[in-house]
Amino acid sequence: MNVQINGLKEQIPFESSLEDLLRSRQIDPASARGIAVAVNEVIVRRNDWSSKAIQDGDAIEIVTARQGG
Amino acid sequence: MRGRPMQVSEKDKKKATATPTEECGDFLRIADLKLKSRLLLGTSGYPNPQIMMESIAASATQLITVAIRRVNLQDRDREGFMHMLTSLPVDLLPNTAGCYTAKEAVLVAELAREALETDLVKLEVIGDDETLMPDVEQLLKAASDLIRSGFTVMAYSNDDPITCKKLADLGCAAVMPLASPIGSGMGILNPYNLQLIRDIVRDIPLLVDAGIGTASDAALAMELGYDGILLNTAVSKAKHPVQMAAAMRHGVEAGRLAYLAGRIPRKFYAEASSSMSGRVEVSSD
């Protein structure tokens, strides 16, 4: 299915959870610190990453802290 | 007495090494935070990470700002910034830099809360790219929404007393009017307005955020009765950032001490500091 990840169009397997998607991007939910995720502009809390099913057309934002003033 | 060394008591020696404002038990309190340092430092634009880390140490800051941005999924090795920050004895203050609407700012604040496990947020809602001045309408809306959602909001504002009062009345934990536009280094363009804001907003911390160019700007803001200073570019883009970080630390401390000590009133005419009593009299020709 087609999704947008951090603004880029990508294809991922059907029936992927958010956790599957993050693992495929080398983000291990157990050890990842300082990362937050929103799907379609709604925060998905860390505890819900494994149960959150990704749908065709979803927009996923994966963010962290960067240098800022 | 000539040639006899001045005796320094143990008490005075201790005084000489203690941070002056720390000795007075003078802390900056923002919600649950209790900070010895009244200087908040940004983490952007340093020549390299090492200089950023040394500048943070030299400034003695206890609260540093960070932005919330997309993870670089193509090169995870470049995501070392978070790891670096966790080694520091400081709290993180995420900002909503780059947001132009209340909706954007609220989403970024929520992402920051989830990523960094903090309710603190430096709320920025920008009106345009040229001036980077706040969009007041969107700023007030975002502040209201975030406070309702349990955030501890430190609001970056323009130097308008009415806007600052409204932000305080909404329940912001701190209000932070600008000295001059972000990154301009022009210092305090309107000390009258900053003084008015201080007179109107008495109950919560006021910090000057943005536009500080050098240590005397920071000292002046503190002398006006501000509770703290938030700055970034003045240090990160200085010729010698680590030295400037130390200068800012001293500027903030000097300004705070001067404010607490109370400046003398300004007078139009001179007043001799040496008494005329006992003056040598010389006959006139």
Q: Give the domain range for residue A36.
A: 2-64
Which pairing describes strands B63-70 and B39-42: parallel, antiparallel, or unpaired? Answer: parallel
| pLDDT tens figures, B189-222 | 999 999 999 999 999 999 999 999 999 999 999 9
| Residue A13, burial from CB neighbour count under 10 angstroms (0-12, 13-18, 19+) | exposed
**Close Cβ partners of B238 (under 8 Å, ≥ 6 residues apart):** B244
| pLDDT tens figures, B168-178 | 999 999 999 99
| Residue B190, burial from CB neighbour count under 10 angstroms (0-12, 13-18, 19+) | middle
A-chain residues near B233 (CB < 8 A): 69
Q: How far are the Cα atoms of B105, B276, B278, B280 from residue B283, in angstroms, in the given order?
A: 78, 16, 15, 10
Q: Distance between CA B46 and CA B43 in Å, rounded?
A: 7
User: Which helix (DSSP H) or strand (DSSP E) does residue B177 occupy?
Assistant: strand B174-177
Indicate the number of domains in chain A. Answer: 1
Tokens of residue A21, six digits:
């998607």
Q: Distance between CA B133 and CA B181 in Å, rounded?
A: 7
Question: Angle B165-B211-B50 (CA atoms, 0-180°, nearest 5)?
Answer: 120
Q: Does B263 touch chain A (CB under 8 A)?
A: no
**Which one of A25, A35, A67 has the shortest CB-CB distance to B44?**
A67
Residue B13, pLDDT score: 47
Q: Distance between CA B191 and CA B209 in Å, rounded?
A: 14
**Between residues B5 and B115, the one the model is more confident about:** B115
Position A8 in a domain:
yes
User: Which of these, B133, B110, B137, B119, lies nearest to B209 by C-alpha position?
Assistant: B133
Q: Distance between CA A59 and CA A9 in Å, rounded?
A: 9
B80 in the Ramachandran plot: left (φ > 0), alpha (ψ -120 to 50) or beta? alpha
Predicted complex ipTM exceeds 0.90: yes
pTM: predicted TM-score of the whole model, two decimal places: 0.87
Q: Are A39 and A16 in contact (CB under 8 A)?
A: no
Q: Is B39 helix (H, G, I), strand (E, B) or coil?
A: strand
| pLDDT tens figures, B215-274 | 999 999 999 999 999 999 999 999 999 999 999 999 999 999 999 999 999 999 998 889
The distance in angstroms from the start CA to the end CA of chain B is: 39
Q: Mind telling me how many Å the CA of B267 is from chain A's nearest CA? A: 40
Tokens of residue B151, six digits:
């955030």
Domain spans in chain B, listed from the N-terminal domain onward: 19-71+79-261
* DSSP secondary structure of A26-40: T--TTT--SEEEEET
What is the signed CA dihedral for B109, B114, B115, B119, rounded to 10 degrees? Answer: 60
Position A41 in a domain:
yes
Give, in words, the CATH class of B19-71+79-261.
Answer: alpha beta
Residue A3, pLDDT score: 95
Q: Are B120 and B154 in contact (CB under 8 A)?
A: yes
Residue B4, pLDDT score: 47
Position A38 in a domain:
yes
Any idea what the CATH number is for the domain that residue A54 is in? Answer: 3.10.20.30
Position A24 in a domain:
yes
* DSSP secondary structure of B51-101: HHHHHHHHHT-SEEEEEEEE--SS-GGG--HHHHHHTSSSEEEEB-TT--S
B122 is catalytic: yes
**Between residues B2 and B79, the one the model is more confident about:** B79
**Across-strand partners of A36?**
A63
* DSSP secondary structure of A1-68: -EEEETTEEEE--TT-BHHHHHHHTT--TTT--SEEEEETTEEE-GGGTTT-B--TT-EEEEEEEEE-
B2 pLDDT above the threshold of 50: no
Q: Are B185 and B218 in contact (CB under 8 A)?
A: no
Q: Mind telling me how many Å the CA of B30 is from chain A's nearest CA? A: 18
| pLDDT tens figures, B55-85 | 999 999 999 999 999 998 887 666 688 888 8
Q: Does A26 touch chain B (CB under 8 A)?
A: yes
**Which one of B43, B113, B115 has the shortest CB-CB distance to A68?**
B43
| Residue B51, burial from CB neighbour count under 10 angstroms (0-12, 13-18, 19+) | middle
Residue B29, pLDDT score: 95
Q: Are B135 and B100 in contact (CB under 8 A)?
A: yes
A-chain residues near B101 (CB < 8 A): none
Position A39 in a domain:
yes
Q: Band of the pLDDT at B86, cuts 50, 70, 90?
A: confident
